[in-house]
């Protein structure tokens, strides 16, 4: 009877008589086989998404704090790191932003000279100033994106980019665009 009571207290899965050796009065005394379940089960969660590459313990093994029990497949993380390194080394976007800003500075100087000689309108001058400010904003954003850690540089669904609408040097409203370049 002691084995049955202990099994009931632990919440065993099932009991079945192995030998119907009960006493004549039917008191239920006999030998029983049982299946027990662990008294303490833990669900695991990981800080990264991915597949489990290797389970390093057997079911029912006792583990200690800090012991490695699984090894995750890190292929996605390695490829993401490689892609970020390649993008950081790629100077194409930054060079294009610098060249565009340089061209817009030249264009503004030409427009100012033409305006002073009566060949361009105030609107032409305002548009040239606006184009230069926009080019400088893009250049600053490109430099800033290289200094900022994390994903999103030039990838679909990446960082939000803000472009200021500055006409005639006045800080205007901001327009917001989502996604890559």
Q: How far apart are CA 78 and CA 46, in angstroms?
A: 17
Question: Looking at the whole model, is its pTM more than 0.75?
Answer: no
Pairing of strands 160-167, 70-72: unpaired
Q: How far apart are CA 87 and CA 152, in angstroms?
A: 11
pLDDT score, position 33: 81
Residues of the chain with pLDDT under 70: 1-28, 146-181
Place of tokens 């900022």: 148
Please report which residue ranges of 27-91 form alpha helices under DSSP H: 75-89
Q: How far apart are CA 143 and CA 157, in angstroms?
A: 20
The predicted-structure confidence for 138-159, as pLDDT tens digits, reads as follows: 999 888 876 665 544 444 434 4
């Amino acid at each position: 009877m002691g084995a049955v009571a202990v099994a009931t207290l632990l919440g065993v899965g099932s009991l079945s008589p192995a030998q119907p050796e009960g006493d004549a009065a039917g008191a239920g005394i006999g030998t029983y086989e049982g299946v027990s379940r662990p008294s303490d089960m833990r669900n695991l969660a990981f800080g990264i998404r991915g597949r489990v590459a290797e389970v390093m313990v057997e079911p029912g093994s006792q583990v200690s704090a800090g012991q490695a029990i699984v090894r995750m497949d890190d292929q996605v993380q390695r490829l993401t790191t490689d892609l970020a390194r390649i993008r950081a080394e790629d100077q194409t976007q930054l060079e294009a932003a610098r060249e565009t800003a340089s061209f817009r500075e030249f264009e503004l100087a030409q427009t100012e000279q033409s305006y002073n000689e009566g060949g361009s309108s105030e609107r032409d001058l305002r548009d040239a100033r606006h184009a230069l400010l926009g080019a400088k904003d893009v250049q600053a954003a490109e430099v800033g994106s290289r200094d900022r850690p994390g994903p999103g540089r030039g990838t679909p669904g990446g960082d939000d980019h803000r472009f200021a609408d500055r006409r005639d040097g006045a800080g205007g409203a901001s327009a917001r665009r989502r996604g890559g370049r």
